[in-house]
Structure 1
Amino acid sequence: MRRCSLAAIVLFLMPDLSSAQLAESRGATVFALSDVDMVPTVYETGELGAPDPHNRDALSIITSPTERSRSVAMTEVSNSTYGPPGALDVSLDGQFVFVAETLRQRSERATRLDELQQGDTIRSLQFDGGHSAVVDSVRIGIQPQAIHLNPAGDLIAAITADAKHELTFVPVREGRFGQASSFGLGLEPSTGFIPLKATWVQWHPSGRYVGVNLVDRG
């Protein structure tokens, strides 16, 4: 029986960027992350399963998914489904995709979840006509859990598992990152099953505030 690797449940629908089509006939673009480092049962057993020598973590770009003329392009980018579905965001104009790396790509010797190295990076990929390529990266703290681009499109908020970098802000312009500013929030350890302190961050529509989801506050 063939084992299936985890596929991220993060999907983004964007208007078709082609100006040659009429508005009412435009399709959409779907961005999806795929994590090939572990099998779905890893959450119960801790075992990663057999390695997949033919595939790597990837960003898939599906243009016009409801049309017969749809196309699929894939670009290798390290990511992990071990965490909330907040590891991906898209620029307001749809030209850039931002991917947070919660855990790094699996090494040849790793067989268990706790043997995967912690990630600490956000990568920017430029999207152009169904293809994408990494254009920049920035380190923000270990195990990023979620990222969110502000309404103005020039500042990313990120939440991580790093006590000194729990909340990080990263300026971004045309896919290029500025210097990150990080803050420790002094959060107490979780009182429940999940060991994380916070799992989600999101901007207020005004762009003046961010909300952070705290885990198991008793």
Structure 2
Amino acid sequence: MASQDMYLASKNGEILSVRDYLQNGNDINAADGDGYTLLSSACVGGQVAVVRYLHRQLYLHRNIRDWAGDTPLMLAALMGHVDVVKELTTTPHMCRLDVLARNNYDETALDLAISNKHTEVESILRNIQLPPLPSPEDYMVERSPVKARGYIEVKFQCEVCLEDYDSKERRPRSLSCGHSFCTCCITETLMRGPLQCPFCRKTHNTQVTVASEVPVNYVVDSMIQEQFS
């Protein structure tokens, strides 16, 4: 069983804490006394970046039930977290998602979306087409930082979502505190309120409404262009 702090970290979107916990060899499917796992906690909190990271782990079990018989998909549907439901239903994984599972009250994920009037989630679940199963070779465990010019350590992946930087949705951008993360994660952060750094918790010193208003980290950006040109 993981410490209660880890389930809260997953629920609150603290992806680096989750990553460190798993890198230390802990069980990705461990559940607390109420049956909540890292995945189900992330689904309750609507933390799509954590769900996306967990999906990249080969041994993730996606259908573990909590005390009420709810699966992670049911919890995401219950809370109306559209992005999490999309991530669960469209991402290939060796553990096939049980979309027809029923909880202790004989409710499916679709039933929960309907009863709570989450119309967008309802539409997704009514028209669901699960992707084909991947092969184990499709999984990438943690990628290592790249050494640039022999002495500077540059990370070519966003430290929030752990996805590779690119020149589009994942373009690296720098906050006024000096920390960088990708355009997509900045967009998700802005949807929740003021732009606050996920590492040092400082609020960006310029008020912005869209990610494109945050300066590009041209040091990392230029190295990416060199890497793939």
- TM-score scaled by length of structure 1: 0.30
More strand by share: 1
Instruction: Find the structure with the greater CA-based Rg.
Output: 2
More helix by share: 2
